Chains A and B, each alone.
Chain A
Amino acid sequence: MNLELDTPPVEILPLAGNRIKKGSKVLITGATGFVGSRLAEILSIQFGCEVYAMVRDYSRAVKLSHLPIRFIYGDLINDTWKKQLPAKIDYVFHCAYGSSGSGQEREKTDLSGTKNLLNIVAACTPQKFVFLSSVSVFEQKNTGVIDEAGSLKPMDDYGRNKLGVEKLIADECRKLNIRYCVFRPSAIIGPGAPSYVNRIIREIRSHIIVFVHQGEGKLNWIFIDDVVGAMINATCISKSDSKTYVLSNPQPLTYIEYYRTLALSMGENLHYQFMDRAENKQLLKRNKTRISQIIMSSIDVKKLKPLMKIPLLSGLLGILNKIRKIFLKPEGKQKKQLSSPSPRTLLPVPEEYVNFLSSEAVFISQYLISDQLLSGYTNYEVALKQIKLKSEWETSWQD
């Protein structure tokens, strides 16, 4: 039985003379998320900071429980957590965003939540407020370079909310006299990254991968520790005050390259399909039908039996059951297809993302290195090695 307790290394690239001071009090919002949890780990272990990790869900906080950090429980949109804060906070890292609920609820978490956060932490007189935004705030171009001066035109609610929060931070921080800095990272990769590693590994293993535009679109990636490193360095580099930075490795990969190398490092073969726009549209139509099939098949009529005693409901449930049976037939066939992956088992890409996935534009920062927020970018081989180590660690007690 394997009894090794390996944990991924914590070191990040040091930047001479700009280290955050040991014992600094830092507040991290979204501390159980991918960036927030790595920040909490590095700030507490490597830099010896007094970390206050703001979390909404106790269960999710368990993954940080081995660290010497204090938890602050609460929701950004109210102030019930205010009294858990210390009198003084040196730095605030705002990584939280509305990740659940309706579009309106997400917007409320992002905008009202950030305003509330700023008003509350202002009393703790932080030296700097660092916000984690996204390149989603930019207009999507098909070619060329997008840097800090790029045109701002988000393509979805996530990007729109991020942009709204950026503007709010600029206004409020000026009013409250708080120094701030904003980062717009591209696709963040690293050990356990939910969107760009874990999801893709699942896709690779399920053999259901569809590339639009032959997979030649550019994946603008950045390694997690570069994101975290730049955010930490921003606390003590005054040149970064009131500035917004793009955070993206200047050497992007094509999607197909990324999937292929990730699959290779996992010891998996890459099975994929190419799909053009027309075919995607067709599949989107079909997929809508499939979603309704899944909903219908998940209704357990047996569990609803007590309701049968009510005459009107009894009739309705009878009809529901009949419809359900009709829907379940094609669902059965679908399951058969899924058990042996075939080239036709395709997942369509939401239409609005087709342009995004086929774009060959490259994100580049004009100032990140010159302002000494990073001394260099982590190269892909190192990033891949770290991802592989974490993936092996995740399964090494499954013997």
Chain B
Amino acid sequence: MLKNKYILVGAGAISEQLYLKFFDQKEDVELYVLDKNEERLRDLKNKFPQFEYSTGDFQNIVQRVPFTAGFICLPNFLHAKFISHFREAQIPVLVEKPVVINPNTFVDLSTGNSSPVFVAHLRRFFDSSLFLRDIIEKSVFGSVQNIEISDGGIFNWNLQSDYLLNREKSGGGVFMDSGIHWVDFLFSVFGDLKIAEYRDNNRGGLESECTVKFSFSTGVGSMRFSRIRNVSRFIKLELEKASLCFSLSESDRIRIQMKAYPGIELNHPISDHLPTAFSRQMNAFFSKVHSADKIHYPNILPGAAEALKSVKFITHCYESRA
């Protein structure tokens, strides 16, 4: 049986920590890793020798090898260009968030051909998110009246380039980089969000902290993100009949307090596990690409148009800043 061939463009920290580790467990695939940084590829080849590595030109490689699908793990500003390349080559692609950094660029791209573009919004695939989505969508405790989200910590990713420090390359600071996970989650559950107030600490560079107040169909909410101090990491939902809290420091449970029984707290067991969530996301992508692949959870992997809503919201927040 012929092996599926995949191409991963970009060999940064996310590629190594998530994609290569994921494919390391797969036996029935061939993976090509493409990056301009020769030294980085050498380093990865030592760690994952079974994959093919190349510093070559994307177009030449895709003409030579019949890829089933591809992945874009590049600095944000290169997403639009490579989405375009993948679409020209008629290869379905999963691109890391944010789908693009300029929503207007994407409108031009979307008028091109039709090979599908999906966006990696990993937060959707954690146990906690799947559970909260279910509770909200099924109105188990009534409608959501208030949401509080707090996330971040002192930045500790092993950056391989400067792209997160440069607006032209990243599209924004902590909000575009980390906050987008939660914005996407809210959009996916509520359909729409409206900005009430946005503030950040940007003094002429990129925001490394920000706060957002917003409203949605049934209530209001606030979010705060930082990458320069340690913050409590949680999402709290105030619903008509209960309040729910998921703290990322207690990733094995969601705390539920029923309003009818004050003082009693229930714990719903979950298991938020990064590799599991990533596997779910990858399998959701494979299931979209190969219709024969079945998954046992809702396929909520967003397409490009859906993912673009979060980018637009964040861009509007930046524009609304006094």
Q: How far is the CA of A67 from the CA of B208 in the complex (A)?
A: 10
Q: How far is the CA of A5 from the CA of B165 in the complex (A)?
A: 20
* Inter-chain contact A59/B158, CB cutoff 8 Å: yes
Query: Which segment, of A111-119, A225-233, A369-377, A390-398, faces chain B?
Result: A390-398
Interface string of A69-85 (1 = CB under 8 A from B): 10101000000000000
* Inter-chain contact A62/B224, CB cutoff 8 Å: no
The yes or no answer to B226 lying at the interface (CB within 8 A) is yes
Interface string of B199-222 (1 = CB under 8 A from A): 111111111111101000000001
Which residue of chain A is the closest to B229 with respect to CB atoms?
A: A394
Partner of A67, one of B156, B203, B230: B203
* Inter-chain contact B201/A58, CB cutoff 8 Å: no
The yes or no answer to A45 lying at the interface (CB within 8 A) is yes
The yes or no answer to B60 lying at the interface (CB within 8 A) is no
Q: How far is the CA of A317 from the CA of B232 in the complex (A)?
A: 42
Task: Contacts A63-B208, A66-B173, A398-B230 given; indicate if A58 touches B203 (C-beta within 8 A).
Answer: no
The yes or no answer to A296 lying at the interface (CB within 8 A) is no
* Inter-chain contact B205/A58, CB cutoff 8 Å: no
* Inter-chain contact A67/B229, CB cutoff 8 Å: no
The yes or no answer to A87 lying at the interface (CB within 8 A) is no
Partner of A1, one of B148, B164, B208, B230: B148
* Inter-chain contact A69/B231, CB cutoff 8 Å: no
* Inter-chain contact A397/B231, CB cutoff 8 Å: yes
The yes or no answer to B131 lying at the interface (CB within 8 A) is no
* Inter-chain contact A62/B203, CB cutoff 8 Å: no
The yes or no answer to B157 lying at the interface (CB within 8 A) is yes
Which residue of chain B is the closest to A62 with respect to CB atoms?
A: B155
Which residues from chain A contact B199 at a C-beta distance below 8 Å? 3, 5
* Inter-chain contact B173/A65, CB cutoff 8 Å: yes
Partner of B159, one of A7, A44, A59, A398: A59
Q: How far is the CB of B108 from chain A (nearest CB, A)?
A: 29
Which residues from chain A contact B224 at a C-beta distance below 8 Å? 1-3, 397
* Inter-chain contact A397/B150, CB cutoff 8 Å: yes
Q: How far is the CA of A397 from the CA of B165 in the complex (A)?
A: 23
* Inter-chain contact A63/B206, CB cutoff 8 Å: no
The yes or no answer to B18 lying at the interface (CB within 8 A) is no
Which residues from chain A contact B161 at a C-beta distance below 8 Å? 58
Q: How far is the CB of B131 from chain A (nearest CB, A)?
A: 22
Interface of B is mostly: loop
* Inter-chain contact A64/B205, CB cutoff 8 Å: yes
* Inter-chain contact A69/B228, CB cutoff 8 Å: no
Which residues from chain B contact A73 at a C-beta distance below 8 Å? 162
* Inter-chain contact A67/B148, CB cutoff 8 Å: no
Interface string of B180-213 (1 = CB under 8 A from A): 0000000000000000000111111111111101
Which residues from chain A contact B227 at a C-beta distance below 8 Å? 62
* Inter-chain contact A67/B150, CB cutoff 8 Å: no
Which residue of chain A is the closest to B228 with respect to CB atoms?
A: A63
Q: How far is the CB of B184 from chain A (nearest CB, A)?
A: 20
Interface residues in A27-84 (C-beta closer than 8 Å to B): 44-45, 57-59, 61-69, 71, 73
Q: How far is the CA of A44 from the CA of B204 in the complex (A)?
A: 9
Q: How far is the CA of A59 from the CA of B13 in the complex (A)?
A: 12
The yes or no answer to A399 lying at the interface (CB within 8 A) is yes
Q: How far is the CB of A107 from chain B (nearest CB, A)?
A: 26
Q: How far is the CB of B200 from chain A (nearest CB, A)?
A: 7
* Inter-chain contact B201/A5, CB cutoff 8 Å: yes
Interface string of B133-164 (1 = CB under 8 A from A): 00000000000000010101001111111101
* Inter-chain contact A68/B201, CB cutoff 8 Å: no
Which residues from chain A contact B230 at a C-beta distance below 8 Å? 394, 397-398
Q: How far is the CA of A5 from the CA of B174 in the complex (A)?
A: 14
* Inter-chain contact A65/B231, CB cutoff 8 Å: no
Q: How far is the CB of B39 from chain A (nearest CB, A)?
A: 13
Q: How far is the CB of A4 from chain B (nearest CB, A)?
A: 8
Partner of A65, one of B158, B164, B210, B232: B164
Task: Contacts A398-B231, A398-B232 given; indicate if A65 touches B205 (C-beta within 8 A).
Answer: yes
Q: How far is the CA of A68 from the CA of B167 in the complex (A)?
A: 11
Q: How far is the CA of A69 from the CA of B150 in the complex (A)?
A: 28
Q: How far is the CB of B102 from chain A (nearest CB, A)?
A: 19
Q: How far is the CA of A3 from the CA of B159 in the complex (A)?
A: 28
Which residue of chain B is the closest to A58 with respect to CB atoms?
A: B159
Which residues from chain B contact A44 at a C-beta distance below 8 Å? 203-204
Q: How far is the CA of A1 from the CA of B237 in the complex (A)?
A: 13
Which of A1, A62, A67, A69 has the most chain B CB atoms inside 10 A of its CB? A62
Which residues from chain A contact B200 at a C-beta distance below 8 Å? 5, 66
Q: How far is the CB of B81 from chain A (nearest CB, A)?
A: 22
* Inter-chain contact B155/A1, CB cutoff 8 Å: no
Which residues from chain A contact B160 at a C-beta distance below 8 Å? 58
Which residues from chain B contact A1 at a C-beta distance below 8 Å? 148, 150, 222, 224, 236
Which of A66, A68, A399 has the most chain B CB atoms inside 10 A of its CB? A66
5 contacts between A and B (CB under 8 A): A1-B222, A5-B210, A62-B228, A66-B202, A73-B162
Q: What 18 additional pairs, Cβ within 8 angstroms, besides A3-B224, A69-B205? A: A1-B236, A2-B224, A5-B201, A44-B204, A58-B161, A58-B165, A59-B159, A62-B155, A62-B208, A63-B155, A63-B208, A64-B205, A65-B208, A66-B204, A68-B205, A73-B162, A397-B232, A398-B230
Nearest 7 pairs of A and B residues by beta carbon: A68-B204, A58-B159, A397-B231, A62-B155, A3-B211, A1-B148, A66-B208
